Amino acid sequence: MREAMANSVDSSRTCKRVTVVLCAMVHVVVTVYVLSLLVESSSQGSTPLPDCLKSLNPYRIQKAKPTTKDEEYRKALIELRRQAAPLVLILRIKDIEAELAMADQEKNEIQAAKNIEKDEKDELEDQKELETGQRPPAVVDDPIGRIQRTLTPEKCQPELKTDFGGVAVRWGLTHHVNSAADCCKACSQQAAYAKSSQRKCNVWVFCPEKKGCSSPDGYEHKFGECWLKHADKPRGIVNDYSLIMRNKTAPPMPVLWMSGVIPFNGE
C-alpha cells in the first residue's frame, strides 16, 4: 500500500515538472513572435522602436554597407585639403606681399636715380652760372626769360633788416636759393605763372645770414630761405620784432631778413 502511494506521488511531481517546462517554452515562443511583429512594423514605419530594439531590425542590418578603402581614402583627402586651405592662402598672401615690396623697391631706385641725375644737372648749371656770371639764353617768346633779363635790383626794392608780412604762396622752409636776386626773380616767376584763382607773389623775404635768421614763429630758419608772399597792403617789421612779441619783458629779437615789395602788372 505504501509503495503504491509513493509511486503516485512521484508521477504527479513528474507531470508538474513537464507542465512547467511546456509553459516556459510556450512563453518563449510567444515572446519571440511578438518581438518579430514589432520589428516588422517598425521597418514599415508604423510604430517607432526603442533604441534597444533597433539593433534587432533585420532590414536595417541588410541595408548597412561596409565602408570601402576608396571611400576612406576620399574622406581623408577631403579632410586634408580642408585643413591645408588656410596654409595655402597664407603662403599666397606672403608671395603677393613680396612681389609688391620688390615693385616698390624698383620704383624707389628708379626715382632715386632720376633725382640724382636732376641734382647733378642743376649743379652743373649753377657752376656754369657762377663761372660765367650769366644765365643760359632764354627764348624770345618766353615771358619768364624776359623778366629775368629786364629785372633790376631797383625793381626788387630790397630792404635790409626788414621782414614784410603777407600770405605765403610758397614756404621758405622748403625753398632755398643762392641770393636775394634769385628770391626776387622767383617771386616774379610765380606771379607770371599763377592762375586767376591763385594769389600772386608781390613780397619776397630772403635770409642772407650764414647762421640763419631769427623769427618769432619758432621755426629754425636757415641761410638761403626764400619766402614768397602776397599782401594787398604790405607792412614791414624793421630792425627788431619787439612790436609783435607777446612777452614784452624778453630781450628784443633782431630782424636779420632781407625783403622787398615788387609790382607786377603782367607785362
> Three-state SS across 65-98?
CCCCHHHHHHHHHHHHHHHHHHHHHHHHHHHHHH
Residue that is written with C-alpha cell 511578438 in the block: 34
- Shared-domain flag, residues 157 and 77: no
- Shared-domain flag, residues 92 and 154: no
User: By C-alpha distance, which of 121, 204, 117 is closest to 159?
Assistant: 204
201 half-sphere exposure, CB direction, 13 A CA radius: 26
Q: Which of the pair, 233 or 249, is modelled with greater confidence?
A: 233
170 half-sphere exposure, CB direction, 13 A CA radius: 25
Answer yes or no: are the C-beta atoms of 78 and 84 closer than 8 Å.
no
pLDDT digits over 10-45, tens only? 566 666 666 766 677 766 666 766 666 665 665 555
Taking the model in full, what pTM does it have?
0.43
- Shared-domain flag, residues 125 and 44: no
- Shared-domain flag, residues 190 and 250: yes
Q: What would the mean pLDDT of 178-205 be, rounded to a whole number?
A: 90
Please indicate, yes or no, if residue 18 is contained in any of the structural domains.
yes
What is the residue range of 27's domain?
2-63
Answer yes or no: are the C-beta atoms of 43 and 60 closer than 8 Å.
yes
Element (H, E) at 104: helix 69-132
Please indicate, yes or no, if residue 10 is contained in any of the structural domains.
yes
Please indicate, yes or no, if residue 267 is contained in any of the structural domains.
no
- Shared-domain flag, residues 147 and 257: yes
What pLDDT was estimated at residue 110? 83
Please indicate, yes or no, if residue 181 is contained in any of the structural domains.
yes
What pLDDT was estimated at residue 206? 94
